[in-house]
Structure 1
Amino acid sequence: MPERVLEAAMVDLVLLAFIGLMAAMGLKRPFVWVLLYIYIDLVIPQKIGWGLIQALPLSLMMFVLAFGGWLALDSKEGSRFTFRQGLIVALLALCAFTTFRAVFQDSAWQKWDWVWKNLLFAAFLPLAMRTRLRIEAVALVMVLSIGAICISGGMKTVFGGGGYGTLKLLVVENSGIYESSIISIAAIAIIPIAVWLARFGTVFRPHWTVTVFVACLSLACLLMPVGTNARTGLVCAAVMAVMMLRTVRNRFVYAGLAGAALVMAVPFLPQSFLDRMGTITDHQEDESASTRIAVWNWTLDYAKQHPFGGGFDAYRANSFTYQMPQVTGSGNSRSITYVEVTDEGRAYHSSYFEMLGEQGWLGLGLWLLLHGIGLLQMELVRRRFRPKDGEKLGWQCGLADALQQAHVVFLIGALFVGIAFQPFGFLIVGMEIAFGSYLKRQDGTGRQPRFAPPAEPLAQA
């Protein structure tokens, strides 16, 4: 017992020492507080520790430091408020309105406690990300924060751990970003951003050591759907692989190597993973998938009666009965019988239906518009800076590609998981807004040269 207490105290001490050091650095460079808040919001170190750190409101403390530091100490040169930031503020106001009139007040206010910070920080973040170096720094902290979780999960997967809802990551908890499907989506989403950092980074400049680290990190991220047995992660990985066909030079070689790697990997995959992935082809034989379909139908009916939504956690009001097929036997003796199943209080299992049920048609519209504009904006930047014959890929086109791929992965994962307000999704949105604003400031009109000057030195960040 004393050893456990000492170990817990040491974990707390190391985490608090790191946070304290970063906070002290922010006295000279206030933007460091923004990065520190992102780290705390993604990794949630207060859940890793065991003692004092759990009692501290670290997220709120760093939020105040990040916003207050920018307001009082940081330069505002180049900061501009955009239409997409206005959409975030409008969504925040709508969430406040629906929370006051929520059907389930207690649970609604519990969700509001973290949603308002994510939305307000997402609207604020582009104001502070006014240089290329700051955009890169946010991307780097996001990749390393989620990567720390993935490295732990990837190693445990390789050495035999894992299973749906049972893979132990940095915390012994299956919720938030540590939930099996959510971490699988985030892991796949950061891969293109990590690759961009390896090719065009200025904090860690391109070097073989950086390339090796990113390759190993990408492998760890790809192992997360395997270790968690999350079907959503597999779908996201397939979507990302297809999207990368747009950017690779030799598409046929890439497709061939990807196919060969998949064939060689199958014998090494755990049977539990193969069995769970097999349910993708027939949702009617899987209770989880059948429940989702029933919840989505209930949400559509609920939205007809409550067009402005029912507030956070309105799904607790659902109750439905559906026919669940049960298969017995195998081969020619296989038979199917239908059993009536009644369920209630089941979560949406989809960000789109989460927005519809909680914030109504207006909330869903704002959310879709916010993400749709981002995809369109990155596509326009990508085409504008796309290399011509004989030119090398520039960092602008590379970053637009990476953010667009990460964003699409997030939106595909959001089809099957309720991650509408998760912080890593809004970080992608914030980087897109800041990146677009940075390009428009280059000559004051948005007609910047195809290749912008090198990033500002760290002292100017």
Structure 2
Amino acid sequence: MRDLLILSIVGVAAIFALKRPWIGVMLWTWLSLMNPHRYAWGLAYSAPLAAIAAGVTLLGLMMTKDRQQPFQGPPIVWFFLFACWITLSWLFGMDPAGDYEQWNKVMKIYLMTFVAGMLIINKMQIMAFAWVAAGSMAILGAKGGLFTILTGGNHRVWGPPGSFIQDNNEFALSLIITIPLLHFLQLQVKSVWMKHGLTAAMLLCAAAAIGTHSRGGFLAIAAMSAMFWWRSRRKGLIGGLLLFAVLVALPMMPEEWWERMNTITEYKEDGSAMGRINAWGVAFEVAKHHFFGGGMSYQHQVFFLLYGTYETVSRAAHSIYFQVLGNHGFVGLFLFLGIWFSTYRAAGWLGKNGRKQDETKWAADLGAMVQVSLVGYAVGGAFLSLSYFDLPYNMMILVVAAQVWVRTRGWERDPQVSWLEYIGLRKPPKNASPTSDPGAYPVRNGTQ
């Protein structure tokens, strides 16, 4: 039954994507973030669903006229340069043949990110993209949060198997990034029940992140919470929720969890932490001696034999910064940081300029909450390997698309039709502004 449901959703969305390729972007995002097929046990588990989503989206992209060139802002330029550098790093790396699978996986994500930048144009598409990205992660977070509550935190929460976030540490960081995006959506809905539902989703995501027993995730959620409270328009409500989490949720965690968190201040006595620091040192030495870095992975035994000081065991960096540094050298790290600095600035621009008009206040909310997410990503990423995961790049597309929409006064050219008319399930009214794509209409007042 689960396989049939997933295959049906993919099949219907794929048909729609041929005419309205932005729907294909939504389908790809759902499959890539949530990995629903990994929770099935039949045909859907091994079916090339992501390839189908990418294929129909690219076909639709070639046929539609409602697209734009992808280089709409500095973050996209930095992103393009980083993608090019990754390819050079892979070709000149330690093991191009062995690293091909990882390079291919990352390039598929990056290609679809560029495609999203070309197809996510108006407010409806931006909002739909935010709902799909945040909603996909929220479902996983709700599942993990309920598991943490029901088991009293005695068992770790893990991400979808076979995904970038299957490890407990990476899953924790992905959920922390999601919480501010859910709050952004909460600010846009009018239904009281929807607001309460999104509050519950945020709390469950936080519970799941804590339930992963990730020390890096704990530091990230602390930093994100402080930034979240500062940037929120409802400081009383957010402060109350944070106080609830501290006074009610944390004391429920088992002794094993507290012992693990205490090792943050006693890292020299923790073998795992010292192994991680050793891996950071190896990454630095690899970048120092190899201009292009080690390739898609610097975790080669020869590097740890040459440069390891604490041990010679090959380990992952568990840090977005040292992972990129070891893999792609100092130039790669510079380009990688350029993506996020420029995205943070663009989000700040939205926060400042979006408040000037009623039509753009939603964009200001988006900019503020993306900045909160980026703070969580920057802090948690210092201790977790999540350099190539889709969600941060999805946030980059959201910010750039919203910035273009605000700058070009997108609300003035958007025709007024309903959601059903927009996706083509109902014929648009005769007085709607025509476009080359019958599906390219924005939402009227966010209702059906």
The yes-or-no answer on 1:409 pairing with 2:376 is: yes
1:373 to 342, 353, 362: 342
Indicate how the Cα distance of structure 1 residues 79 and 293 shifts in structure 2: closer, same or farther if over 3 A, else same.
Answer: closer
Task: Give yes or no for contact 1:311–1:359 (8 Å, CA) kept in 2.
Answer: yes
User: 2:183 aligns to what?
Assistant: 195
What is the distance in 2 between the residues matched to 1:380 and 1:31?
25
The yes-or-no answer on 1:167 pairing with 2:157 is: yes
Indicate how the Cα distance of structure 1 residues 86 and 104 shifts in structure 2: closer, same or farther if over 3 A, else same.
Answer: same
Give 1:366 deviation, angstroms: 0.8
Give 1:369 deviation, angstroms: 0.7
Give 1:214 deviation, angstroms: 0.3
Give 1:243 deviation, angstroms: 0.7
Give 1:48 deviation, angstroms: 2.1
Give 1:306 deviation, angstroms: 0.8
User: 1:158 aligns to what?
Assistant: 149
SS at match of 2:311: strand
Indicate how the Cα distance of structure 1 residues 22 and 260 shifts in structure 2: closer, same or farther if over 3 A, else same.
Answer: closer
Indicate how the Cα distance of structure 1 residues 355 and 77 shifts in structure 2: closer, same or farther if over 3 A, else same.
Answer: closer
Give, as a single letter, the amino acid of the residue that structure 1 aligns with 2:116: L
Give, as a single letter, the amino acid of the residue that structure 1 aligns with 2:304: S
> Can you list the C-alpha shifts for 1:243-282, whole angstroms capped at 9, x where unaligned?
1232345758865763464133333122222111111122
Task: Give yes or no for contact 2:186–2:194 (8 Å, CA) kept in 1.
Answer: yes
Give 1:28 deviation, angstroms: 4.7
What is the distance in 2 between the residues matched to 1:273 and 1:48?
27
Stretches of structure 1 lacking an aligned partner (at least 5 in a row): 1-9, 324-339
Indicate how the Cα distance of structure 1 residues 258 and 38 shifts in structure 2: closer, same or farther if over 3 A, else same.
Answer: closer
Indicate how the Cα distance of structure 1 residues 57 and 162 shifts in structure 2: closer, same or farther if over 3 A, else same.
Answer: farther
User: 2:106 aligns to what?
Assistant: 115
2:87 to 91, 96, 99: 96
User: 1:315 aligns to what?
Assistant: 299
Q: How does 1:129-144 map to 2 (within 5 A)?
A: 129-144=120-135
Give 1:30 deviation, angstroms: 2.7
Task: Give yes or no for contact 2:320–2:383 (8 Å, CA) kept in 1.
Answer: yes
User: 1:230 aligns to what?
Assistant: 214
Give, as a single letter, the amino acid of the residue that structure 2 aligns with 1:378: A
Indicate how the Cα distance of structure 1 residues 85 and 266 shifts in structure 2: closer, same or farther if over 3 A, else same.
Answer: closer
Deviates more, 1:258-267 or 1:220-229: 258-267
TM-score using structure 2 length: 0.85
Give, as a single letter, the amino acid of the residue that structure 2 aligns with 1:367: F
Give 1:216 deviation, angstroms: 0.9
SS at match of 2:217: helix
- Greater per-residue strand proportion: 1
The yes-or-no answer on 1:177 pairing with 2:165 is: yes
What is the distance in 2 between the residues matched to 1:299 and 1:421?
17
Give, as a single letter, the amino acid of the residue that structure 2 aligns with 1:68: L
SS at match of 1:319: helix
User: 1:19 aligns to what?
Assistant: 10
> Can you list the C-alpha shifts for 1:219-257, whole angstroms capped at 9, x where unaligned?
110111222111122112111211123234575886576
* Higher CA-based Rg: 1
> Can you list the C-alpha shifts for 1:178-213, whole angstroms capped at 9, x where unaligned?
22111211111111111111221xxxx421111111
What is the distance in 2 between the residues matched to 1:56 and 1:41?
14
Task: Give yes or no for contact 2:21–2:119 (8 Å, CA) kept in 1.
Answer: no
Task: Give yes or no for contact 2:321–2:382 (8 Å, CA) kept in 1.
Answer: yes
Give 1:41 deviation, angstroms: 0.8
User: 1:263 aligns to what?
Assistant: 247
The yes-or-no answer on 1:282 pairing with 2:266 is: yes
What is the distance in 2 between the residues matched to 1:66 and 1:256?
43
SS at match of 1:280: coil
Q: How does 1:70-85 map to 2 (within 5 A)?
A: 70-76=61-67, 81-85=72-76
SS at match of 1:348: coil
Give 1:168 deviation, angstroms: 5.2
Give 1:122 deviation, angstroms: 1.8
What is the distance in 1 between the residues matched to 2:218 and 2:415?
37
What is the distance in 1 between the residues matched to 2:315 and 2:101?
18
Indicate how the Cα distance of structure 1 residues 293 and 13 shifts in structure 2: closer, same or farther if over 3 A, else same.
Answer: same
User: 2:331 aligns to what?
Assistant: 362
Query: Percentage identity across aligned positions?
Result: 23
Task: Give yes or no for contact 1:23–1:33 (8 Å, CA) kept in 2.
Answer: yes
Give 1:35 deviation, angstroms: 0.2
Give, as a single letter, the amino acid of the residue that structure 2 aligns with 1:97: L
TM-score using structure 1 length: 0.83
2:199 to 205, 211, 215: 215
Indicate how the Cα distance of structure 1 residues 456 and 392 shifts in structure 2: closer, same or farther if over 3 A, else same.
Answer: closer
The yes-or-no answer on 1:296 pairing with 2:284 is: no
Indicate how the Cα distance of structure 1 residues 251 and 43 shifts in structure 2: closer, same or farther if over 3 A, else same.
Answer: closer
**Count of aligned pairs between the two proteins:** 421
Give, as a single letter, the amino acid of the residue that structure 1 aligns with 2:311: T
User: 1:329 aligns to what?
Assistant: none
Task: Give yes or no for contact 1:231–1:277 (8 Å, CA) kept in 2.
Answer: yes
Task: Give yes or no for contact 2:18–2:56 (8 Å, CA) kept in 1.
Answer: no
Indicate how the Cα distance of structure 1 residues 190 and 305 shifts in structure 2: closer, same or farther if over 3 A, else same.
Answer: same
Give 1:308 deviation, angstroms: 1.7
Task: Give yes or no for contact 1:188–1:222 (8 Å, CA) kept in 2.
Answer: yes
SS at match of 1:281: coil
